[in-house]
A and B are shown apart, each in its own frame.
Chain A
Amino acid sequence: MSSSTANEANGPTAVEYIQHHLHNNSIGDGGFWVLNLDTLIYSWLLAGVLMYIAYKMGKTMTADTPSGGQNVLEAIVEFVQQQIRDIFPGSNPLIGPLALTIFMWVFLMNAMDLIPVDLLPSLGQLVGINYMKVVPTTDLSTTFALAISVFALIIFYNIKIKGPMGYLKMFLFHPFGKYLIPVNIIMTAIEEIAKPVSLGLRLFGNMFAGELIFLLIALLGGASLFGLIPQITLGTVWAIFHILVISLQAFIFMLLTIVYLGMAHQDMEEH
């Protein structure tokens, strides 16, 4: 696989092209103990960008004369604050930063999808990096890292707010009352486990599918010269549509985090 594109005669087939693009650059001996370097590095880069922006803005912001960047951040912060106010019962100093971080980080990682699919891998190959997946959220490890972190917080706050017995009672007597305890346990367990699984899989599925469609569109131009026109047209349309998808997925992840943690903060004595 010396070439990154499929439009050369001796290049890879379509299947090879796609598989190549969906292959992480990883170290490790297979199984669980593998580190996907591309995922880690790109997400760290984006986290670094966020940290830099956060640090710089935190130092330079002024209450009296907010400038462009500060206005944007203030709008985002206010938007997140509004969501929390609307959904979240009570107050928790962690929920704000958590929701804001999820929103911005997931958005940035998703936005990597908008960079032309071949650009960064091709550049990587120029310096000898063979595999590169540039969108961290197309890696299940990333989406589940976020989802499991949120899940851990859900359990933590469930126990903290409801008490260990309260949390246990939720499993025993929710949703059908005390006469169907076995069913209750199964139902509640499924309900709880479904939260991180749906969080992680939703984001992964959306971003993976989006990336895959970008790859398929990229293949159009490679097939023949006539494919260029549909490639450009479809690529543009899909990219524009994808702007919606990446924002929406970041927003949904944030919103569901707030909702789930809000549910964990509700005292369910009556159940």
Chain B
Amino acid sequence: MSITATLIGQMITFAILVWFIGKYLWGPMTQMMDDRKKRIADGLAAAERGKHEQELAEQKATQHIKEAKEQAAEILAQAQKRGAEIIEDAKDDAKAEGERLITAANAEIEQEVHRAKESLREQVVDITVAAAGKIIKKEIDAKAHGELLKDVVGQI
């Protein structure tokens, strides 16, 4: 029960043990725990950032949707307007075409009437000349009395 040379052995053991534990346990373990701490902090920061970014993205998406809706409404309105315009134009065209057709038809009718009148008149002249010839029993010189006859035909 006194201090003996065992002391020296124990001191050497102690020194070796401190060195060993420092090298193989304390060093790597504190390093690892620090790394882990840092990684956890980084992870939390990243999560926070991700959350923030997601919020931003959501805001952006909402904005986009709103814009798209507005654009769609605009396009729709334009299309409706354009459609109405087309219909209006078509109506106008149709009206004009109809009128044109009617006018053309009328003109043709008039022409036909005119032509009929003309031929009728000529026939009347012929008949009249023939009738007058028969009446006066003398062939009238068509040339000599042409002026007169024309006058008569004009009065018919």
Question: Are B32 and A54 in contact, with the CB atoms below 8 A?
Answer: no
B25 to chain A, nearest CB (A): 4
Q: What bracket does the count of chain A residues touching chain B fall in?
A: 35 or more
Question: Are A54 and B1 in contact, with the CB atoms below 8 A?
Answer: no
Question: Are B4 and A36 in contact, with the CB atoms below 8 A?
Answer: yes
Instruction: Name the B residues within 8 Å of A140 (CB-CB).
Output: 1-3
Instruction: Name the A residues within 8 Å of B82 (CB-CB).
Output: none
**Cα–Cα distance between A174 and B125 once the two chains are bound (Å):** 164
Stretch from B10-18, B94-102, B106-114 at the A interface: B10-18
Name the one of A32, A78, A146 contacting B14, with C-beta atoms under 8 angstroms: A146
Stretch from A40-48, A156-164, A183-191 at the B interface: A40-48
Name the one of A32, A47, A61, A93 contacting B17, with C-beta atoms under 8 angstroms: A47
B1-35 interface mask toward A, CB cutoff 8 Å, 1 = contact, 0 = none? 11111111111011111111110111111101101
Interface residues of A in 115-153 (CB under 8 A from B): 136, 139-142, 144-146, 148-149
Question: Are B13 and A47 in contact, with the CB atoms below 8 A?
Answer: yes
Question: Are B5 and A35 in contact, with the CB atoms below 8 A?
Answer: yes
Is residue B36 contacting chain A, with contact meaning CB distance below 8 A?
yes
- Residue of B at shortest CB range from A145? B10
**Cα–Cα distance between A146 and B9 once the two chains are bound (Å):** 11
Question: Are B6 and A34 in contact, with the CB atoms below 8 A?
Answer: yes
- Residue of A at shortest CB range from B36? A63
Question: Are A149 and B14 in contact, with the CB atoms below 8 A?
Answer: yes
B120-131 interface mask toward A, CB cutoff 8 Å, 1 = contact, 0 = none? 000000000000
Q: What bracket does the count of chain B residues touching chain A fall in?
A: 20 to 34
Q: Secondary structure of the A side of the interface? A: helix
Known interface pairs A22-B1, A35-B5, A43-B10; A73-B25 also in contact (CB < 8 Å): yes
Question: Are A63 and B32 in contact, with the CB atoms below 8 A?
Answer: yes
Instruction: Name the A residues within 8 Å of B8 (CB-CB).
Output: 145
A48-60 interface mask toward B, CB cutoff 8 Å, 1 = contact, 0 = none? 0011011101100
B122 to chain A, nearest CB (A): 120
**Cα–Cα distance between A123 and B3 once the two chains are bound (Å):** 27
Interface residues of A in 185-219 (CB under 8 A from B): none
Interface residues of A in 33-91 (CB under 8 A from B): 33-36, 39-40, 43-44, 47, 50-51, 53-55, 57-58, 61, 63, 73-74, 77-78, 81
**Cα–Cα distance between A96 and B18 once the two chains are bound (Å):** 9
Is residue B39 contacting chain A, with contact meaning CB distance below 8 A?
yes
Question: Are A141 and B25 in contact, with the CB atoms below 8 A?
Answer: no
- Residue of B at shortest CB range from A23? B1
Which of A96, A100, A141, A148 counts the most chain B CB atoms within 10 A? Answer: A141
Question: Are A142 and B10 in contact, with the CB atoms below 8 A?
Answer: yes
- Residue of A at shortest CB range from B37? A63
Instruction: Name the B residues within 8 Å of A53 (CB-CB).
Output: 25
Instruction: Name the A residues within 8 Å of B25 (CB-CB).
Output: 53-55, 57-58, 73, 77, 97, 100
Question: Are A58 and B5 in contact, with the CB atoms below 8 A?
Answer: no
13 additional A-B residue pairs with CB within 8 Å, beyond A97-B25, A146-B14: A26-B6, A40-B9, A40-B13, A54-B25, A58-B28, A63-B39, A73-B25, A101-B18, A139-B6, A141-B4, A145-B8, A145-B9, A145-B11
- The 5 sampled A-B contact pairs (Cβ below 8 Å) are A26-B4, A32-B4, A98-B18, A141-B10, A144-B7
The 3 residue pairs across chains A and B that have the minimum distance between CB atoms: A97-B22, A145-B10, A54-B25
